[in-house]
Amino acid sequence: MESGRKKIEWVSNFMPLLNYLKKEYKGVFNSTKIGMAIHLEAKTAYLAITLKELGADVFVTGCNPLSTQDDVAAALSEYGITVHAKRTHDEKIYFNNLNKVLDHEPELILDDGADLSVILHTERTELLKNVKGISEETTTGVRRLLNLQEKGLLKVPVIAVNNAKMKHFFDNRYGTGQSTWDSIMRNTNTLIAGKNVVVAGYGWCGRGIAMRAKGLGANVIVTEVDPIKAIEALMDGFNVMKMSEAAKIADIVVTSTGVKDVVKYEDILNMKNGVILANAGHFNVEIPIEKIEKNAEKIFEARENVKGYIINGKKIFVIGEGRLVNLAAGDGHPIEIMDLSFALQTLSLIYIHKNYKNLENKVYQYPEELDEKVATLKLKSLGIEIDKLSEEQREYLKGY
Amino acid sequence: MESGRKKIEWVSNFMPLLNYLKKEYKGVFNSTKIGMAIHLEAKTAYLAITLKELGADVFVTGCNPLSTQDDVAAALSEYGITVHAKRTHDEKIYFNNLNKVLDHEPELILDDGADLSVILHTERTELLKNVKGISEETTTGVRRLLNLQEKGLLKVPVIAVNNAKMKHFFDNRYGTGQSTWDSIMRNTNTLIAGKNVVVAGYGWCGRGIAMRAKGLGANVIVTEVDPIKAIEALMDGFNVMKMSEAAKIADIVVTSTGVKDVVKYEDILNMKNGVILANAGHFNVEIPIEKIEKNAEKIFEARENVKGYIINGKKIFVIGEGRLVNLAAGDGHPIEIMDLSFALQTLSLIYIHKNYKNLENKVYQYPEELDEKVATLKLKSLGIEIDKLSEEQREYLKGY
Amino acid sequence: MESGRKKIEWVSNFMPLLNYLKKEYKGVFNSTKIGMAIHLEAKTAYLAITLKELGADVFVTGCNPLSTQDDVAAALSEYGITVHAKRTHDEKIYFNNLNKVLDHEPELILDDGADLSVILHTERTELLKNVKGISEETTTGVRRLLNLQEKGLLKVPVIAVNNAKMKHFFDNRYGTGQSTWDSIMRNTNTLIAGKNVVVAGYGWCGRGIAMRAKGLGANVIVTEVDPIKAIEALMDGFNVMKMSEAAKIADIVVTSTGVKDVVKYEDILNMKNGVILANAGHFNVEIPIEKIEKNAEKIFEARENVKGYIINGKKIFVIGEGRLVNLAAGDGHPIEIMDLSFALQTLSLIYIHKNYKNLENKVYQYPEELDEKVATLKLKSLGIEIDKLSEEQREYLKGY
Amino acid sequence: MESGRKKIEWVSNFMPLLNYLKKEYKGVFNSTKIGMAIHLEAKTAYLAITLKELGADVFVTGCNPLSTQDDVAAALSEYGITVHAKRTHDEKIYFNNLNKVLDHEPELILDDGADLSVILHTERTELLKNVKGISEETTTGVRRLLNLQEKGLLKVPVIAVNNAKMKHFFDNRYGTGQSTWDSIMRNTNTLIAGKNVVVAGYGWCGRGIAMRAKGLGANVIVTEVDPIKAIEALMDGFNVMKMSEAAKIADIVVTSTGVKDVVKYEDILNMKNGVILANAGHFNVEIPIEKIEKNAEKIFEARENVKGYIINGKKIFVIGEGRLVNLAAGDGHPIEIMDLSFALQTLSLIYIHKNYKNLENKVYQYPEELDEKVATLKLKSLGIEIDKLSEEQREYLKGY
């Protein structure tokens, strides 16, 4: 509890936007009931506290059975927030807790992955009438809700926080970029400079990972299936080749493609002794962990968070079981990145709270003006002023 | 002529895609008449030659009175291409030449800026019946044609080459990025490392310019009006401030915003003695040249392509009269970048040639499969192989 | 013990040079007694094991009361090495253990900081007759031994491992550069990109720290007292200013100057709320910790390894008490960097062992051929071949 | 003349140190006669003018038959400087001019390459009695004078400007780094991003060239004969391999080793069609031009400053005949870099002028306090202030 409180206080130092919103919108929620499903750790806890201070009654549960930090959960209760969350391997307990949050009859839902929203729409439909809207921040969650919408089952308005520019431009590039290498360095103590680092996928995450690997002195090799992205990688100064070739010279492999089996088991057979594998994609499907586990001659704990496998007499190391390396074996995104995302979420909830009567039961893109507002607040928090278009310049642009 | 031929031969060494397409589509145009309006220099000349070798009858004029290189024009005639182009300050001659190309009754139009297309649609409408379609490669040209379309005046299908990914991702970032600094360095012989370089605008061009300035050792300052782009610039490691502040410490200022007066005359009054100004945006409106010319105490030619002004006793240097610095005072984009763009154009003409009967009279986005084809050909020309999604992986992606 | 062994096994995977030397020089020491004083953790433990496998009888103690990891010490005993080391705050125990190693009458000394060597030359001079020579790897240790030499007190040959190129070029730039940021990131979870990072000192360490900060997306500001280094920093693209100015805008300050009070208490009063301070220099004198502790309105543990201070109502955070941040709050240099340093040390001991009869009692520069040997072995371990000068080329060079 | 004067005026804008010294030391030379041998172009002309304004009688000749720009020479005469220099292929004229400068019985010599000094010591020894000292700025010149010294033939004091930190740290890295790429880009108009750029040699020049190639988006490959430098290159993120391997994949090769035949003719046979070769080392011996010329099936002028060769049916392009690419096919170092070097030279002449009576007839290292003075003046010209060690800090450093 003491440790949980300390963690929350630490992150509060680096969340200027939530701190600002707490003041600007003080009391806005006026006892509205908000149900939240989140990875319950210090940063999300501070989001819950923020919503509480904005006047909401807040009910929190986890969005993944294993991601709840119990000391933070305990501390959160002390802030007057109702917490139904516990780190557990028991999925029943997990779903039970989701339902307990729904039992409070929330009016607004803040979801991460859409488990809460899907239960609401399938098993607890009697509660839908209370709900003004949902704010969902993940790609996966947005997809699930779009699926509901396509089938005509979506019964409340949804705002796709994930689609905000201030979310996906920043979270993926600067967040994943840094936290992936933070995790790999702390868990291995190996040198990055001069290493052959293979980055699978040159989407926003892959760009961030490759950029930071270069910044740490690595020789970066990118693999891609999209020829256009492959040429971008090339012109950004990276080597580009097939995974089957890259695998042979890799010292470290990081996957972030969103696709399964991006590293094939055959690739692993060709890797050098001592290679290190990590996944920065959402699901643990990019590295063929099951085949590795099945075929390894020996399996051992090599270091905290690092498993070693002997395959064909060579050692293969996998960080964090092939799960999202920055979360499974680190502290997740840097605090300031989450401050941006949480400001987007908070504003989206306020938006729904104020406008729900005019909203349809569909998935909305993130409102542009709120996206810009978050950017503007961030600049303000940094004391940075930028230019504004003059009336004349606006006119000029129309005349194109 | 000799010099023109030599220039053309030089660029042909670095245009693998045009060289490839010449073989793959040999004869495809089968005496189709193509009218082209282009900046007539070695790279575009080689595009004309390529179309000729693909079987077309080619008629060429300039797309800007001053951008025609007469030695290249002369050489081009020798390749069996009809050229109506001359470097001139006389706009009448320029428009006369555009009309001369139309006199040949072209069936396909390759346009750059849409002068040819607009004349066709306004003054020479009797020729529209021959025209199967237009391929237009600039932002400006696409906008003009969209305006025609909105007013119901567009009478032929148009393909917006500018909108291809292989165009705007590459041309702006890697093309403008390099050629802007090539031009500034060759025209000033000044050191970039350690300089305060102000880049106005953080769009694709501005990113390229900032990235390369950093790569040359500068301390880069970005100005923006869009708060989201401002934060991206910041997280890319650049300083961000208002132009009025940046102007005071600038050693070199490069504009690339597409807006007029991005540097204000008041900013210039605050600049340091010896500051160097250049514009990388399309039009010469970003630096307030007129006010500078009007108010300068003294104006002098400081170096070839560089004009000096004494204002308030301080020297201000402007490269290339504030026109697009890489073209007005350099050789334009690197050859390989234009090879990509020209491959896109060639494929779009073939596409129209084959499919015009099924096309409507509207502006089409660039066909994705051709965009990818160009990327794939580029990789092939480099001997680079990339991965392909397996059937299983495709299935996995659908199941998200 | 189990955990200690696991740690040692982990590092052994990334120490190709020690692994190679174990084979090449198997048995070379032929029961020679080696006394070692080291920071006893996994990497140094593996050095001790290597010496053991080269035939030596090895006696190990710590070189700092607090840097011994007891689980590693316990594991080391199992490898047949005599260990007199314990993590302790009691300096008596520490010096007792140094003496216990000397009691074994070592013939070769491997020292880190020169405590063992100084005791030998001052309090245990009767043992000097057994000693063939000393290998010392730190700047501090080399200075102390040079002082002994100047006073005519040095009685055995010494090899200054610290002065090898493969040591100070790599250890400082790539080792400190990476491990400083590894430590700051893991201990704060804050974003580096877009931050104002002030690096005090642009020596080899400072260069490494600045280079990696830039690589992580920071806006880097360097402070220096040497005008030449200041201009180098500038031309490397960094901002350069006085600490009193830099302090006002700093988000993170890292010192690495080797000088005390490089950050003054007055600077701290001008810093922003929430600033983070870390020291990467050898001693904890660069940040004025005592004055901070004395004057703070409140002191609190902000996070593991991070102390918070309230000064003038603003929060100041200090990582690792102002001690060497990569060691005090991290795992020290990356393994491969230490592999280079330890290979240099091992070769220097073999060199003394073979040549001591011809060596004088003075501090020797590191032998160039061994320096190159380590580089050559490193390249070999990576499978990299480089060019060789031909006879003709050698002749050409002489003819200059 | 008009063009020569304009060139000189241009460079004067970017030479703050010479401009400063002109004022600080006005009249110091008090009609002392200075003989100069230099590459006579705008930047060196401004050095001559500076010395003139400091009160000297200045006599100028070239230091290479081909590097004199005749318009600058003509303009220089108008400033009251005696010029004996002409661009010529006739070596007799060249040596005649050197002698003409000596005929004026100079008291101070400013030399570049030591031709003037060597003639003085061998053929014109009767003039030695007038000479107070020599300032020599090149590596080659310093070596020749050291050879004279070793043979007991040196009869005047020499200051080795080349050895100043403000010379070789900056000139090579930032000067050669930028100007090499400026030259390659302007002479080829090819894209650097995504290219395989092979840099032969990782000395100060090679580092600058590699660093800037990376900054322009290239995939950089370094070749070396020194294993330590090879590992530095590796840890700086570059690929390292043998030239015979690098040659096969190179798009652009730049040599800067100081050794002959660093590219072998056999390597050229293995290169790709269209490869571009350039040399940034002092002499045109690094690329085997003679063998290429002899064996080529066809030789042609490919572009201004670029020669094409057909060898085994493949095209090989060489810029500037394999001579120092930034000078032979460009404008040499950026102006500000030369300002640093010339300030060093000017100060060394003043130093000799004032202290010659106390100097021995030997080659002196560059005086440290003048080196620091130049750095300090440069910072001042930029308006940058840096820290100073306090008395306490100085004490602390002694106590180490």
Q: Is C63 annotated as a binding residue?
A: no
pLDDT value for A1: 54
pLDDT value for B283: 80
pLDDT, tens digit, 9 for 90 and up, residues B138-172: 888 998 999 999 999 999 999 999 999 999 889 98
pLDDT value for A399: 62
> Could you report the predicted ipTM of this complex, rounded to two decimals?
0.94
Considering chain A, what percentage of its residues have pLDDT values greater than 70?
A: 99
pLDDT at C22 over 80: yes
pLDDT, tens digit, 9 for 90 and up, residues B263-296: 999 999 999 999 999 999 888 899 999 999 999 9
Considering chain D, what percentage of its residues have pLDDT values greater than 70?
A: 99
pLDDT band at C312 (very low <50, low <70, confident <90, very high): very high
CB contact under 8 A, C236 and B219: no
State the virtual CA torsion across A27, A29, A32, A35 in degrees, nearest 10.
Answer: -110
**Cβ contact A34:A106 at 8 Å:** yes
From chain A, pick out residues whose CB is under 8 angstroms from the CB of C336. 190-191
Distance of residue A213 Cα from the nearest chain D Cα, in angstroms: 9
- Joined together, the tokens standing for residue B7 give 């220039």
- What does the mean pLDDT of chain A come to? 95
Using 70 as the pLDDT threshold, list the residues of chain A that sit under it. 1, 399-400
Residue C359's Cβ-count burial label (10 Å; 0-12, 13-18, 19+) is middle
**Cβ contact D8:D46 at 8 Å:** yes
pLDDT value for D230: 97
Residue D343's Cβ-count burial label (10 Å; 0-12, 13-18, 19+) is buried
pLDDT band at D399 (very low <50, low <70, confident <90, very high): low
CB contact under 8 A, D375 and C231: yes
Neighbours of chain A (3+ CB pairs under 8 A): B, C, D
pLDDT value for C302: 96
Distance of residue B2 Cα from the nearest chain A Cα, in angstroms: 34
pLDDT at B253 over 70: yes
pLDDT at C400 over 80: no
pLDDT band at C37 (very low <50, low <70, confident <90, very high): very high
Is beta strand D133-136 parallel, antiparallel or unpaired with respect to D108-111?
parallel
Centroid of chain to Cα C217: 26
pLDDT at D185 over 90: yes
From chain D, pick out residues whose CB is under 8 angstroms from the CB of B193. 174, 177-178
**Cβ contact D4:D76 at 8 Å:** yes
Domain edges within chain B: 173-327
Burial C153-170 (b: 16+ CB within 10 A, else e): ebebbbbbbbbbbbbbbb
pLDDT at D386 over 80: yes
CB contact under 8 A, D392 and C260: yes
From chain A, pick out residues whose CB is under 8 angstroms from the CB of D236. 193, 217
pLDDT, tens digit, 9 for 90 and up, residues C335-374: 999 999 999 999 999 999 999 999 999 999 999 999 999 9
CB contact under 8 A, C182 and A186: yes
From chain A, pick out residues whose CB is under 8 angstroms from the CB of C186. 182, 185-186, 330-331
Averaged pLDDT for residues D326-331: 90
CB contact under 8 A, C178 and A191: yes
C40: which DSSP letter? -
Architecture of domain D173-327: 3-Layer(aba) Sandwich (3.40)
User: CA-nearest residue of chain A to C16?
Assistant: A274
Averaged pLDDT for residues D142-166: 94
- Closest partner residue to D178 among B193, B315, B335, by Cβ? B193
CB contact under 8 A, A194 and D234: yes
Burial A175-210 (b: 16+ CB within 10 A, else e): bbbbbbbbbbbbbbbbbbbbbbbbbbbbbbbbbbbb
pLDDT value for A391: 93
Residue B130's Cβ-count burial label (10 Å; 0-12, 13-18, 19+) is middle
pLDDT at D239 over 90: yes
Q: Which residues of D are annotated as a binding site for NAD(+)?
A: 138-140, 203-208, 224, 280-282, 326, 333
pLDDT, tens digit, 9 for 90 and up, residues B89-125: 788 999 999 999 999 999 999 999 899 999 999 999 9
CB contact under 8 A, B190 and D334: yes
- Closest partner residue to A174 among C9, C177, C193, by Cβ? C193
From chain D, pick out residues whose CB is under 8 angstroms from the CB of A217. 235-237
Cα separation of C349 and C343, whole Å?
10
pLDDT value for A63: 87
- Closest partner residue to C386 among D235, D242, D386, by Cβ? D242
pLDDT, tens digit, 9 for 90 and up, residues D337-370: 999 999 999 999 999 999 999 999 999 999 999 9
Averaged pLDDT for residues D34-38: 96
From chain C, pick out residues whose CB is under 8 angstroms from the CB of A192. 178, 334
Which pTM does this prediction carry?
Answer: 0.95
Cα separation of B55 and B29, whole Å?
5
pLDDT at C277 over 80: yes
- Closest partner residue to C224 among D223, D387, D396, by Cβ? D387
User: CA-nearest residue of chain D to A192?
Assistant: D235
pLDDT value for B289: 95
pLDDT band at D226 (very low <50, low <70, confident <90, very high): very high
- If phi > 0 it is left, if psi is from -120 to 50 it is alpha, else beta; for residue A109 that is beta
CB contact under 8 A, C384 and D285: no
pLDDT, tens digit, 9 for 90 and up, residues D78-99: 999 999 998 887 889 999 999 9
pLDDT, tens digit, 9 for 90 and up, residues B196-240: 999 999 999 999 999 999 999 999 999 999 999 999 999 999 999
CB contact under 8 A, D237 and A218: yes
pLDDT value for C140: 82
Q: Is C140 annotated as a binding residue?
A: yes
pLDDT value for B191: 98
pLDDT at D143 over 90: no
State the virtual CA torsion across B373, B374, B378, B384 in degrees, nearest 10.
Answer: -30
Q: Which residues contact C4 (CB under 8 A, 6 or more apart)?
A: C42, C45, C69, C70, C71, C72, C73, C74, C75, C76
Neighbours of chain D (3+ CB pairs under 8 A): A, B, C
What are residue B252's DSSP bridge partners? B197, B276
pLDDT at D107 over 90: yes
Distance of residue C193 Cα from the nearest chain B Cα, in angstroms: 5
CB contact under 8 A, C238 and B231: no
Q: Which residues of D are annotated as a binding site?
A: 138-140, 203-208, 224, 280-282, 326, 333
- Joined together, the tokens standing for residue B301 give 């030619």
- Closest partner residue to D224 among C227, C241, C387, by Cβ? C387
What are residue B213's DSSP bridge partners? none
**Cβ contact D145:D119 at 8 Å:** no
**Cβ contact C343:C199 at 8 Å:** no
Cα separation of D326 and B324, whole Å?
25
pLDDT value for A67: 80
User: CA-nearest residue of chain C to B213?
Assistant: C237
CB contact under 8 A, B400 and A143: yes
CB contact under 8 A, B186 and D191: no
From chain B, pick out residues whose CB is under 8 angstroms from the CB of C231. 194
- Joined together, the tokens standing for residue B37 give 């309006």
